[in-house]
Amino acid sequence: MGIEETPKLFLDSSFVVALFYGDSVSVDKAQKVLPALITVDRIYINNYILSEVLTVLSQRIGKKKTKEGLNVLYNNRVELIHASRAVENRAYEEFFKISKKDISYADLMLTLHAKEKGIDAILTLDKHYMYLGQKYGLNIICP
């Protein structure tokens, strides 16, 4: 399933950060995907992803530009939703069962939050999400 067939989509921090900062390969990948997002009915980030994005971008491009960039996202149909305590508890339990070192708690939170909310896919530039998608039955879009 590609972006065009996805009614609901979570954005991962790797994708959001690459819209505003990064090496040319990451920035190019993120920019090429942008036009396809118009076909998605609902686009979300959660509070864990927002935390990662705010931290990375404010350190790289400053707080003023970070705020301007996030305002562009919010003004273009990206909705912030908060993870429930039930998802946090499940992620905490699941995190220690995953032996892969490259899976962060925030990545797992996003995956389980998508499952809870019935969000079909995650858009990311991080290939390790393929493991999470397979394990939890989600479509991972990784250009």
C-alpha distances in Å from residue 86, one per residue of 79, 89, 106: 21, 5, 15
Residue 75, in any domain of the structure: yes
- Each as own residue / partner, the long-range contacts of residues 74-78 (CB below 8 Å, 24 or more positions apart, any chain) are 77/42, 77/43, 78/11, 78/43, 78/44, 78/45
Quote the pLDDT of residue 123.
97
CATH number assigned to the domain comprising residue 17: 3.40.50.1010
Mean pLDDT per block of 10 residues along the chain (143 residues) reads 82 95 91 88 95 96 94 88 96 96 95 96 96 96 93
Quote the pLDDT of residue 36.
87
Quote the pLDDT of residue 74.
85
Distance CA(15)–CA(37), nearest Å, equals: 12
Residue 134, in any domain of the structure: yes
Total domain count for the chain? Answer: 1
φ, ψ for residue 118 (rounded to 5)? 70, 30
Residue 2, in any domain of the structure: no
Residue 1, in any domain of the structure: no
Domain that holds residue 117: 8-141
Evaluate if pTM is beyond 0.85: yes
Residue 3, in any domain of the structure: no
Quote the pLDDT of residue 6.
79
Residue 41, in any domain of the structure: yes
CB proximity list for 22: less than 8 A, separation 6 or greater = 30
